[in-house]
Amino acid sequence: MKQDHEFPNQAFLQSLVDAHQEPFCLVDEQYRIVAANQRYADLYAGLDKQAVVGRKCHEISHDSDVPCDAHEECPLRQTFDQGHPFQVVHRHFDQYHEPDYVTVHATPIFNAAGAVVLMGESMTSISHGRDLCFDAEKMVSGCCPSFMRVLDNLTSVAETDFPVLILGETGSGKEMAAQLIHRKSRRADREFVTIDCTQFTEERFASELFGHIRGAFTGAVENKMGLFELADRGTLFLDEIGELPLVSQAKLLRALETGKFRRLGETRERRADVRLVCATNRDIQAMVKLGEFRADLYYRINCMQVELPPLRHRKGDLPELVNYFLDRAGHRQGISEAAYEALLAYPFPGNMRELRNILDRAMALARGARLEVENLPAEVTSPERVPATHPVHVENDFVACADHEISESDHLREVLHKHRGNRRQAAQELGITERTLYRRLKSHSLI
């Protein structure tokens, strides 16, 4: 620990941390907690704030004897080595040893000579305990690097009002990701409206999206509000947008560009302010080249892009995922090592949804006993019967926020032009602070 004369007195440090609303602590270069507020102590230790002083930060937040840089990006190392603020998503454990996904905000504290002597660390919960463990059609928690990077990107895009395109294979949790974006956005208290683009004909899609008035077509016996209007000031989630017919794409594009639409059979023009989140398991770029998807719509929806990792890229999370599904089903006998090894070798083309189905079937066959290899389906235990996987892209790894820099630059320029250079109004439309807007404009050399 650095010499005491480099720090203000303890009472002064304590007053600084107590001023924070979120869980907050000050940590030295040896990972020791110098001061913590009561919210931090309550959340992670269930102790008085003075009781955590002197203990290692990873002992408190990670319930671990080793620093988090063994398996996560360590904000302390980044802050002391680089001397600038750092943000990352971590999985912490609360006083009840339950996982909590948090955004960690680390800030360097300098002495009079300009050297970093402390790190200030605040935490904002993403998951509030087990909120990320919904069901097999959605993402289930884990801690492998690919999953943590996705959470980091999802929380980052949630802070903006830009359109988001989520790429991911079937069963990888695209709707869950969209819901997380909505819950962490400034629109969280408004509607989250989902449209499954695989379910509608061209005519029915227009009616569902924009609504209709009585008599607009056969069977239209009353006025109906469309989902675009229902999502006003909220989030509109278009699931599997790659399945949308070209004619419907044109109608959607106009509404997105102008914010205006008409109910079918109506001459009156209406307005709606929606934040658009789209998802697909198809390669949209390839579809654009083939003329199967409108290029102008693609560039409109692809302002920010997040690709979800398939389960075969999250094998480090498999033990936790298997235990989660077994516990949820009330199965207490566990799984044999041989059965687990078979699951570990399987590529899971159906991702999380397939994992749950495999385990449900195995539990039924095991009849309350431990899961064995013979309880698993043939495609899992016989390599020659493993079905082919169909990745969104050819690459074997996933991309997070690809093409974000170009798209964000264009969008910032467009919004500024719309408000004639007024940064306050532009920031309000984007759902960010003027300071954040300034930093983004500067990073794109727009000022």
Residue in this structure with the two tokens 């749950």, named with its chain if needed: 356
Tell me, what's the pLDDT at 101? 83
Which residue type sits at 97? H
Q: How many helices (H) and strands (E) does the chain have?
A: 19, 14
4-125 against 145-309: fold identical: no
At residue 225, the 3 state secondary structure works out as strand
CATH superfamily, with its number, for domain 4-125: PAS domain (3.30.450.20)
Tell me, what's the pLDDT at 390? 57
On the 0-12 / 13-18 / 19+ scale of CB atoms within 10 A, 262 is: middle
Residue in this structure with the two tokens 């102790």, named with its chain if needed: 47
Tell me, what's the pLDDT at 143? 66
Per-residue pLDDT of the chain (447 residues; tens, 9 = 90+): 444 445 668 888 899 899 998 999 999 999 999 999 999 999 888 888 988 999 999 999 988 888 887 667 889 988 999 899 988 888 888 888 887 888 899 999 998 888 999 999 998 887 654 444 433 334 555 667 777 788 888 888 998 999 999 999 988 889 989 999 998 899 999 999 999 998 888 778 888 899 888 887 877 778 889 999 999 999 999 999 999 999 899 989 989 988 899 888 888 899 999 999 999 999 999 999 999 999 999 999 998 999 988 888 888 788 888 888 898 888 888 899 999 899 988 999 989 889 999 999 999 999 989 999 999 999 898 866 666 665 554 343 443 333 333 346 666 777 787 777 888 777 766 656 676 677 677 766 777
CA–CA dist 218, 215 (Å, integer): 7
At residue 209, the 3 state secondary structure works out as helix
Tell me, what's the pLDDT at 388? 63
Strand spans (E) along 293-394: 304-307
Strand spans (E) along 112-257: 116-125, 164-167, 192-196, 211-212, 224-225, 235-239
Within 10 angstroms of residue 247's Cβ, the number of other Cβ atoms is 12
Angle, helix 434-443 to helix 423-430, in steps of 10 degrees = 100
Residue extents of the structural domains in the chain: 4-125, 145-309
CATH 3.40.50.300 fits 145-309, yes or no: yes
Tell me, what's the pLDDT at 403? 37
Contact residues for 66 (Cβ-Cβ < 8 A; gap 6+): 58
Question: Which residues lie across from 103 on neighbouring strands?
Answer: 89, 124
Cα–Cα distance list, 63 to 19, 95, 96, 434 (Å)? 26, 9, 11, 38
Residue in this structure with the two tokens 């609504």, named with its chain if needed: 211
